[in-house]
Amino acid sequence: MYRLLFRLVLSRFDPETAHHLAFVVIRILGWPLLRPLTRALTRPAAAHEVRTLGLLFPSPFGLAAGFDKEALGIAGLGALGFGHVEVGTITARPQPGNPKPRLFRLIPDRAVVNRMGFNNAGAVAAAPRIARARRARIRPVIGVNIGKTKVVPVEEAIEDYLVSTRLLAPHADYLVVNVSSPNTPGLRGLQELDKLEPLLTAVRDAAGEVPVLVKIAPDLTDDQALRIAELVQRIRLAGIVATNTTLSREGLTTDAAVVAAAGEGGLSGAPLAARSLAMLRLLRETVGPELCLISVGGVTTAAEVRERLDAGATLVQGYTAFLYEGPFWARAVNRGL
């Protein structure tokens, strides 16, 4: 039914408008009176619980950052079956993001191009929402993804991240340092080791007991990814999220004119699967069995999630397929597992 609805109705809406409409429903599903019923239909099997980062994840499958940018739908998303919800990306200061339109579907590829630009109300606004969600008796694990405020110069990035860390880490189950979005000028340059090490060390120290991970880009070379993995181990970070969206447009089946019209931005969805899986295998071979690796990029089915787990992922995240599969996607993945 959802696929029919998407093809006949939702695909005709502006993608960002459709997202906001869907989010209204998700927030309703998180209302206390409805949450138990929804959760009864979507609850993961206890056999698939995962212990990592000092936390118990009810399912290895969670929702990647980018969907719930403002930490408004945590309860509803958990009720839909996601074992963890990573909110954000949240910046220290409020910012509107890039001009619209900034979200584009490539339907034949089951992909999305976005250049949202970390649109959010800022860490001060998000902190009490996350705190309220975390107090709920039944909830998903809550990750918080933080990024650089666009107007802050790269030279001042560490202090900018520390503002977010101090405000949000007390309410997060784990924290992710996003240095890999292609939509904030200069951000990916923070993946260079001479900039990355002081940033990650400062955030780790400010976060206290909260596990800190770093999210990296699929467009890194293998050698660059391995150097970051070695850094993560050396400074005793909790893990790596791999990967963010890609700048590549190779191998797409969508009409070239449609792709060109979408313009700049990060590509997510099915075309990212091969690179994301390859990077996962590379990282796991390098870091050994203990470090938490969260694999994200191009997964849709339970079989694809299982492939990531078998390849060494501790946890797996999805996002783009949610737009194409509908509200019971996490339930289908959990049951398939």
Q: Which residue has the higher pLDDT, 66 or 326?
A: 66
195 annotated among ligand-binding-site residues: no
Residue 236: CB atoms within 10 A of its CB come to 10
Above 90 in pLDDT, residue 200?
Answer: yes
Task: Return the pLDDT at 125.
Answer: 97
Question: Which structure tokens are listed for 197?
Answer: 């090490």
In this prediction the pTM is 0.91
221 annotated among ligand-binding-site residues: no
**Which of 156-160, 189-193, 253-257, 320-324 bottoms out in mean pLDDT, i.e. has the lowest?**
189-193
Q: Are 269 and 110 in contact (CB under 8 A)?
A: yes
Average pLDDT of the residues in 229-236: 96
Active site residues: 181
Question: Distance between CA 62 and CA 329 in Å, rounded?
Answer: 11
pLDDT confidence bin for 209, thresholds 50/70/90: very high
89 annotated among ligand-binding-site residues: yes
Residue 319: CB atoms within 10 A of its CB come to 21
pLDDT confidence bin for 182, thresholds 50/70/90: confident
Above 60 in pLDDT, residue 232?
Answer: yes
117 annotated among ligand-binding-site residues: yes
| Beta bridge partner(s), residue 267 | 113, 246
Question: Distance between CA 5 and CA 304 in Å, rounded?
Answer: 25
119 annotated among ligand-binding-site residues: no
Average pLDDT of the residues in 293-312: 97
Write the burial class of residue 310 (CB in 10 Å: 0-12 exposed, 13-18 middle, 19+ buried). exposed
CA nearest 156: which of 209, 198, 114, 128? 198
116 annotated among ligand-binding-site residues: yes
Question: Distance between CA 2 and CA 328 in Å, rounded?
Answer: 9
Q: Above pLDDT 70, what percent of the chain?
A: 86
320 annotated among ligand-binding-site residues: yes
- The hierarchical CATH code for the domain 2-336 is 3.20.20.70
Domain regions of the chain by residue span: 2-336
73 annotated among ligand-binding-site residues: no
For the chain, what is the total number of helices (H) and then of strands (E)? 13, 13
334 annotated among ligand-binding-site residues: no
At 108-126, the pLDDT tens digits run 999 999 999 999 999 999 9
Write the burial class of residue 41 (CB in 10 Å: 0-12 exposed, 13-18 middle, 19+ buried). exposed
Question: Distance between CA 175 and CA 169 in Å, rounded?
Answer: 7
Above 60 in pLDDT, residue 261?
Answer: yes
Task: Return the pLDDT at 222.
Answer: 94
User: 76 — alpha (psi -120 to 50), left (phi > 0) or beta?
Assistant: alpha
- Exposure string for 187-224, b = 16+ CB within 10 A, e = fewer: bbebbeeebbeebbbbbbebbeebbbbbbbbbbbeeee
User: In Å, what is the CA distance from 305 to each residue of 44, 140, 314?
Assistant: 14, 18, 11
At 12-55, the pLDDT tens digits run 667 777 766 766 767 666 556 555 655 555 566 556 899 999 99
